[in-house]
Amino acid sequence: MRQFSGKTVYKGIALGPVRVLKNQDSPIRRKKISDAEAEICRVTGAKRQAKEKLQTLYDRALKEVGKVGAAIFEAHQMILEDEDYLGSICNMIQTEMVNAEYAVAVTGDNFFAMFDAMEDGYMKARAADVRDISNRLIRILEGQKDDEPFSEAPAILVADDFTPSAMIQMDRKKVLALVTVRGSANSHTAILARMMNIPALVRVPLNLEEIPDGVQMIVDGFMGSIWVEPDEETCLRAENRMKEERERARLLEQFKGKETATVDGRKIRLYANISNVTEIGHVLENDAEGIGLFRSEYLYLGRKDFPGEEEQFQTYRQAAQTMGGKKVIIRTLDVGADKQVDYFDIGKEANPAMGYRGIRICLKEQKMFRTQLRALFRAAVFGNISVMYPMITSVEEVQEIFRVIKDVQEELERDETPYRYPEQGIMIETPAAVMISDELARLVDFFSIGTNDLTQYTLAVDRQNGRLDAFYNPRHKAIFKMIRMTVENGHRHGKWVGICGELGSDPELTETFIRMGVDELSVPPSMVLKIRKKVREIKDV
């Protein structure tokens, strides 16, 4: 039995078999070989295995999602037969006497760049296919399991790190816990783990090569520890703790259906954060009174092209209808920084957190922004949708947003498309927005304070950088002063003010926020009942 410590992302306990996911982005080593024929044979063997796997995936997809959805696997099989692609790999092995993995990786990169540079949208989209196929071949050549990572029995997933797009592809039911060697407790990956209710630890100093797939592991988010191959006594202790946790959750059930109000009757709006409509079940199950932050960007991640108006409309309408008249606050696209989309070429930035992201992209890429606004305004007919905008730093940005909105409304009226004008809010997540919140409050209907970014920008600490976790202190005095200032300025103009950043779900701070006058808290679904319990204990406000 070995014990390791890490940084807790979500407090929960899990016990089960490990599944190690090797980092696909790890650099492929160039090795000199002496037998080119044998190396080419390895490529041919890997190609055969990849084709068989793709056929299985094609058959399964055909049954589950139909011909159009399955076509991707057909396209991949065709790339595997492409003479230029294979010729380039074999040629490199022969002329440079290098290992197959390296030849596949370099050829994959070259073909990716070639397709990606093409004007034609269809050909451009093939770039990602070539990369997928090359990665599949490399996985086979390296002897890694080539199955889909989340299609097996429930397991504790261990990896160097997970990207937000890998997270959204996970089947929650199959993930007992997450453990990463790198990563940060404040990243979007960590936020997703909390929202999905998955016990998780980051920055656990594991050597992934030494952890065989299938060994037992305990992940204890309360203690910030994991045990590899735990002994019987440790397993028993973990099982008892799991039982206690289930009991604690059961006791919280009594707060379902109760009002979120202090002892003296001051009501607080208690909403939940989501990134995907599939999480709405969780929102309702935990009796949240609405959705305070729907991170719409997750609709744009892990795919090959932008979601169109119709697809977005369906998603937002589904959210509004499922919530049955309760408020659903949808934040417009907030990509950039750690949330990267391949089809959207942001390019390498020295400081991505302070770079091209959020509303800056939307106001530049107005066609894409208008598509989202059209979908949102149309969906608003079907429920209680509000819209809010991320990363605001100036009055001019908000004025520009309203100019775009006006155009969109005129357009919808021209084509006689039914729509409703939703409540309009902004996120307060930059120090600039706090300092001009008096002016901003005149323009919008509400503020939602994003303490995650506000902490990052106020304290000059990159929230993605795990080495700085000790400096990332959302409880810093400066943050509390900023929250107070934002609330006062919002209220001066009769606007409500909420918190949707992670700090809002800290039960130790619920009373502080309520005494500051905060009107709404939007928290991970799993925290709703805990916060309601807290609010109901507060007196004399």
- Side-chain half-sphere of 167: how many Cα atoms within 13 Å? 27
d(CA 425, CA 402) in angstroms, rounded, equals 11
Q: Sign of dihedral through CA atoms 372, 377, 382, 386?
A: positive
Only one of the segments 28-36, 70-78, 124-132, 445-453 lies at the binding site for ligand PEP (rule: CB under 6 A); that segment is 445-453
d(CA 412, CA 373) in angstroms, rounded, equals 10
Neighbours of 524 (CB within 10 A): 26
d(CA 362, CA 356) in angstroms, rounded, equals 10
Q: Which C-beta is closer to Mg ion: that of 279 or that of 453?
A: 453
Q: Which C-beta is closer to Mg ion: that of 101 or that of 429?
A: 429
CB of 159 to Mg ion, least distance (A): 24
> Which residue carries 């107005």 as its tokens?
366
Q: Could you say whether residue 426 binds ligand PEP (CB under 6 A)?
A: no
Q: Which C-beta is closer to ligand PEP: that of 187 or that of 262?
A: 187
Q: Which C-beta is closer to Mg ion: that of 279 or that of 429?
A: 429
Report what 518 binds from Mg ion, ligand PEP, none; CB cut-off 5-8 Å by kind: none
Q: Which residues are catalytic?
A: 188, 500
Only one of the segments 118-126, 172-180, 247-255, 444-452 lies at the binding site for ligand PEP (rule: CB under 6 A); that segment is 444-452
Q: Are 395 and 439 in contact (CB under 8 A)?
A: yes
CB of 165 to Mg ion, least distance (A): 17
Only one of the segments 102-110, 201-209, 449-457, 478-486 lies at the binding site for ligand PEP (rule: CB under 6 A); that segment is 449-457
Report what 500 binds from Mg ion, ligand PEP, none; CB cut-off 5-8 Å by kind: ligand PEP
Q: Which C-beta is closer to ligand PEP: that of 129 or that of 502?
A: 502
Residue of 279, 429, 506, 520 that binds ligand PEP (CB under 6 A): 429
CB of 390 to ligand PEP, least distance (A): 7
Site for ligand PEP in 385-404 (CB under 6 A): none
Q: Could you say whether residue 451 binds ligand PEP (CB under 6 A)?
A: yes
Q: Are 437 and 492 in contact (CB under 8 A)?
A: no
Nearest Cα to 419, choosing from 371, 370, 372, 382? Answer: 382
CB of 531 to ligand PEP, least distance (A): 16
Q: Which C-beta is closer to ligand PEP: that of 138 or that of 283?
A: 283
CB of 498 to Mg ion, least distance (A): 14
Nearest Cα to 200, choosing from 234, 161, 238? Answer: 161
CB of 355 to Mg ion, least distance (A): 14
Q: Are 202 and 286 in contact (CB under 8 A)?
A: no
**Residues that bind Mg ion in the complex, under the rule CB under 5 A:** 429, 450, 453
Q: What is the residue type of 9?
A: V
Measured CA to CA in angstroms, residue 511 lies from 268, 429, 502, 516, 532 at distances of 11, 21, 16, 9, 11
Q: Could you say whether residue 501 binds ligand PEP (CB under 6 A)?
A: yes
Structure-token pair, residue 329: 């606050």
The per-residue DSSP string of 296-307 comes to: GGGGTSSSSS--
Nearest residue to Mg ion, scored by beta-carbon proximity: 453
Measured CA to CA in angstroms, residue 344 lies from 122, 145, 276, 303, 390 at distances of 15, 30, 20, 11, 18
Only one of the segments 1-9, 147-155, 158-166, 448-456 lies at the binding site for ligand PEP (rule: CB under 6 A); that segment is 448-456
Binding mask 254-293 for ligand PEP (x = CB under 6 A): ---------------------------------------x
For ligand PEP, how many residues bind (rule: CB under 6 A)? 11
d(CA 236, CA 244) in angstroms, rounded, equals 12
Q: Are 294 and 386 in contact (CB under 8 A)?
A: no
Q: Sign of dihedral through CA atoms 123, 127, 132, 135?
A: positive
The DSSP 8-state label assigned to residue 32 in this structure reads: B
Only one of the segments 70-78, 450-458, 488-496, 531-539 lies at the binding site for ligand PEP (rule: CB under 6 A); that segment is 450-458
Residues 6+ positions from 250 with CB-CB distance below 8 Å: none
Q: Could you say whether residue 220 binds ligand PEP (CB under 6 A)?
A: no
CB of 36 to ligand PEP, least distance (A): 50
CB of 296 to Mg ion, least distance (A): 13
Could you tell me where the DSSP H helices lie in 142-187? 164-168
Residue of 452, 486, 510, 526 that binds ligand PEP (CB under 6 A): 452
Q: Which C-beta is closer to ligand PEP: that of 54 or that of 499?
A: 499
Q: Are 169 and 192 in contact (CB under 8 A)?
A: no
Residue of 39, 453, 519, 520 that binds ligand PEP (CB under 6 A): 453
Measured in degrees and rounded to the nearest 5, phi and psi for residue 393 equal: -125, -10
Contact positions vs ligand PEP (CB under 6 A): 191, 293, 295, 334, 429, 450-453, 500-501
